[in-house]
Chain A
Amino acid sequence: MSPLLTKIVSGFALFCLVILIALLYEGVDRIVHARMQRRFGPPLLQPFYDVIKLLGKESIIPRRAVRAVFQASPWMAMTLTLLIFLYIPIGSIPPILAGNGDIILILYLLAASAVMMVIGGFASGSPYANVGSQREMVLMMSYELPLALVVLTLAWLVYKRGVPGAPFSLETFVSVPVWNTVGLIGSMGIFALLLSLLGVVPAEVGKVPMDIAEAKTEILEGFLAEYSGRNLALFKLTFALRSLAMSALLVPLFFPFSLGKLFGLNGASFVLVDFIWFWVKVFLVQIVAITVVRTMYGRFKIWQASQFYWFQMGGLALAGMVLVTLDVMFF
């Protein structure tokens, strides 16, 4: 097989895998969420049932909607989210498109899929969707600051410490965990960066306390208000995939520790153990960053969320940046 064909085949296999895992994790998320509220919760496979049922339903297009944009945006949003997984190293397996993209591209893809949702909302011609889209845009502008600060600081750190590989490439972070490159002060700085990024996760994936753009008790699911049937199923998939992608992005950045190396494995068993270990780590991150947080808190208002990201989370990221800089400069 030619390398291109290999990439295409493995890419599609990966897409199928991440869709399954994303829906499975959402099922677990709903059960854990329910158990923390002393409820039983839905069956594990409920997200699959939901998506399959929605795929068989009629997609209604509102009379006032911009038809083409309204129809295209769910496809675009989901495709862009799926593409992220082509650039994330899974365990010790390098990304399928290794060398062709880095964290900056991943952040662009995340933002682009959110923009697609916003466009879909604006195109649906509903006041609720309009408000939801406005809110999503404001939210995006707010959380980009801490997100950019975290990523820049980490890239600068690995560059300064002379870790082999391109500074923005995720493989660089996998090869040498960032925690190993710094002393005590730097570790504190990286921990602050981690907290800041964890704070950004709910907004990226649209879960409480940052589900402001969807807010069902306020604006009736916001930009999803007019979506139904297949389009809604695609958006549901997009949300599940975004949760998975954000968690999967955190793992190589902050928790790249390999279980295979620890046990001194090699060959196929090394790859397999690290592959499974990667998804276990993603699962744990998703539970901590999304499920627990959405159980603990209520929803912010949009200006409160903006304030939270610009000042609290931005401040935290800045503090982390300063600490890491101090570590690199003086120790």
Chain B
Amino acid sequence: MAIGEGKTYTIPIGPVHVGLKEPITAWLQVDGERIVDVRIRPGAIHRGIEYMARERNPIQVIYLAERICGICSFAHIISFVRAVEDAASIPVPPRAKYIRTILLELERIHSHILWAGVACYTFGYDSAFNLGMLLREKVMDVLEAMTGNRVNYGVGTIGGVRRDITPQVAGAIEEMVEYYKREFSYFYNAVTEDPIVKARMRNVGVLSEKDAVRYCAVGPTARASGLRVDLRWSSPYEAYEDLNVEPIVPQDYFGNAQGDVFDRFFVRVMEVYQSLEIIEQCMDGLPEGPIMHEPKPAKLLNLLKTADGVGQSSIEAPRGDDTHVIKLTQAQENVTWWKVRAPTYANAMSWPIMFKDQEIADAPLIINSIDPCISCMERMLIVNEKGSSTVATKEELIRICRDKTRRLMHR
């Protein structure tokens, strides 16, 4: 359609856009329908959570960490409590480890089904979206039965979990696994065998294996590009040490990984099946015993006060590696500092590559394809006195950090 040479105009996708779940802005330079250039502008939902944490003790921060993200809330608190356990050397009873694993996998199922539905919605396939939402209700019901909440479960604690799996809940989980084994293939077939879905997802938003390594993609985004990366497999934590989790990569199924949106869709769908298997294995091998190292919060807090040092933890959240680093200082109740690196932060770097030579119609799908969680990602935002905000670049951040260190040293 483009007749004019080099004449482009700018179209913003976001920050508020029907096709996007969360606020991110992509300024597209388009020539007709073709995207020539893209600039991603985050920074619409920064909340200063890490700063807030410095006025709270680790047990209070659990609930703050849970509110980093609505969907992978449990992944964030497990990463956080593991970092605290690492810093304070607190052991976790085996039963708690298994329950954590089950919850993490339930959360993965819920996140992946939600994503698959939203991806279909992005290109107008509303029936698949509604079917996805219908399927997702089952896992939400199980999560509610298990923890009392649908989204922020509030069951993780340092040194264990706060809710046990009762026989009724075990029955509900079993029923859920059966339900998904029966019903989920229907959704999968409806989507993958649809010619329009293929036409919309194949060869769209391609991220080659080389680029995935170069731009540090993580999680399903990296796996869809053919990289065998999965923290559950490469550095197992919780109950994954006892299980055999293989990373799901498209080349095992199709012979080669194309790294397009369809592959990302496929990897996530297969991971739902994988999660079901993991849950079944965990339920079979669920050890008996206590679920908390220290049930009394006051005692636990005293224990944490004695801790001194830095703790680190990386876990495989539904979207990729979720890393938390925390510093506890002896005789101080509050968290000294806390750093969260959510998977979207790593995956967002690949966006400009994926946008190259695509069409406007693909833009929301490409943004959604890495399953972005912007509220997880936004960590740094500079607001100047006039009220306009900018997002700091790497160099700026380093400069600001060094300035501050110097200020502190010379005080």
Contacts and interface: CB of A to CB of B under 8 A. Distances in A.
**Are A and B interaction partners?**
yes
Contact of A298 (B1, B30, B196): B196
Interface string B74-89: 0000000000000000
A87 interface: no
B122 interface: yes
Contact of A208 (B126, B197, B359, B364): B126
Contacts, number: 87
Interface in A31-75: 36-39
Contacts of B360: 131, 218-219
A211 B359 contact: no
Contact of B127 (A220, A296, A304): A296
Contacts of B17: 220
A217 interface: yes
A298 B197 contact: yes
Nearest to A214: B124
A211 B131 CA distance: 21
A209 interface: yes
Contact of A37 (B18, B19, B126, B359): B126
Contacts of A302: 33, 359, 361
Nearest to A137: B1
Nearest to A127: B11
Query: Would you call the interface of chain B mostly helix, strand, loop, or mixed?
Result: helix
A145 B373 CA distance: 45
Contact of A299 (B11, B32, B196): B196
Contacts of B9: 127, 130
Contacts of A7: none
A295 B130 CA distance: 11
A130 B1 CA distance: 13
A52 B231 CA distance: 56
Given A217-B121, A218-B361, A302-B361, A297 B33 contact: no
A211 B130 contact: no
Contact of B1 (A134, A296, A300, A304): A134
Given A38-B131, A218-B19, A298 B200 contact: yes
Contact of A301 (B194, B197, B359): B359
A301 B204 CA distance: 12
A103 B19 CA distance: 39
Contacts of B196: 209, 297-300
A208 B196 CA distance: 11
B125 A218 contact: no
A217 B124 contact: yes
B131 A37 contact: yes
A297 B194 CA distance: 8
B1 A215 contact: no
B32 A134 contact: yes
B127 A211 contact: no
Contact of B123 (A37, A128, A219, A299): A299
Contacts of B10: 127
A301 B10 CA distance: 20
Contact of B130 (A37, A128, A209): A37
B120 A298 contact: yes
Contacts of A127: 9-11
Given A37-B131, A38-B130, A295-B127, A218 B1 contact: no
A138 interface: yes
A37 to B, nearest CB: 4
Contacts of B125: 208, 297-299
B33 A217 contact: no
Given A131-B11, A131-B33, A217-B121, A300 B199 contact: yes
B128 interface: yes
A39 B134 CA distance: 9
Contacts of B134: 38
Given A127-B10, A127-B11, A302-B33, A218 B364 contact: yes
Nearest to B2: A134
A299 B363 CA distance: 14
Contacts of B32: 134
Nearest to B362: A301
A302 B128 CA distance: 21
Contacts of A161: none
B199 A304 contact: yes
A128 B33 CA distance: 11
Contacts of A261: none
A209 B359 contact: no
Interface of A: 36-39, 127-128, 130-131, 134-135, 138, 208-209, 211-212, 215-220, 295-304
14 contacts: A37-B131, A39-B130, A127-B11, A131-B33, A138-B1, A217-B18, A217-B19, A220-B17, A297-B125, A299-B200, A301-B200, A301-B359, A301-B362, A302-B33
Given A208-B125, A215-B124, A303-B33, 7 more contacts: A127-B9, A208-B124, A211-B124, A217-B121, A218-B19, A296-B127, A301-B362
